């Protein structure tokens, strides 16, 4: 089954404790992206990647890092989480460069930073 898998689904952590949210897709997609969803703000793009070793900033990249060492994986790293990063996070992938293509979303990771 074609899917985008995020782990963990739920995470509670404390300020300053580094964490990684994993994202994996099994569709051989080139384009992958991370979003955060906050009430009243919709989804905002954090980072995206057009292919292996190619990443770029979205609208709200501050406080986040990403890497794309393999085509299927695109982890999101919070090196020193803060309470304002409490949010619902989605990973997505699409088959082409991203331009005009349909994105497939993961189930989301709900993060609480205390």
Partner 1 sequence: AQSVSQHNHHVILSEAASLELGCNYSYGGTVNLFWYVQYPGQHLQLLLKYFSGDPLVKGIKGFEAEFIKSKFSFNLRKPSVQWSDTAEYFCAVNSDFNKFYFGSGTKLNVKP
Q: Name the token pair of 42.
A: 């919709």
Q: At a CB cut-off of 8 Å and minimum separation 6, what does 57 contact?
A: 47
Closest CA to 23 of 108, 82, 114: 108
Quote the least distance from Cβ 47 to partner 1, whole Å: 11
Among positions 90, 93, 109, 113, the unique one binding partner 1 when judged by CB under 8 A: 90
Whether the Cβ atoms of residue 21 and residue 109 lie closer than 8 Å to each other: yes
The nearer residue to partner 1, 48 or 64, going by C-beta atoms, is 48
For position 102 contacting partner 1 by CB under 8 A, the verdict is yes
For position 77 contacting partner 1 by CB under 8 A, the verdict is no
Closest CA to 32 of 2, 78, 68, 79: 68
Q: Using CB under 8 A, which residues numbered 2 to 61 contact partner 1?
A: 4, 31, 33, 35, 40-45, 48, 50, 56, 58-59
For binding to partner 1 (CB under 8 A), which residues are involved? 4, 31, 33, 35, 40-45, 48, 50, 56, 58-59, 90, 92, 97-100, 102-108
């Amino acid at each position: 089954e074609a899917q985008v898998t995020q782990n963990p689904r739920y995470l509670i952590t404390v300020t300053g404790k580094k964490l990684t949210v994993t994202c994996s897709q099994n569709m051989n997609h080139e384009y992958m992206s991370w979003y955060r969803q906050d009430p009243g703000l919709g989804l905002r793009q954090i980072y995206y990647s057009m292919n292996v070793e190619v990443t770029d900033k979205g609208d709200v990249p501050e406080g986040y890092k990403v890497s794309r060492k393999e085509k299927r994986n695109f982890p999101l790293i919070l090196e020193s989480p803060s309470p304002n990063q409490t949010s619902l996070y989605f990973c997505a992938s699409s088959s082409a460069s991203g331009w005009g293509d349909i994105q497939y979303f993961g189930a989301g990771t709900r993060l609480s930073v205390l």
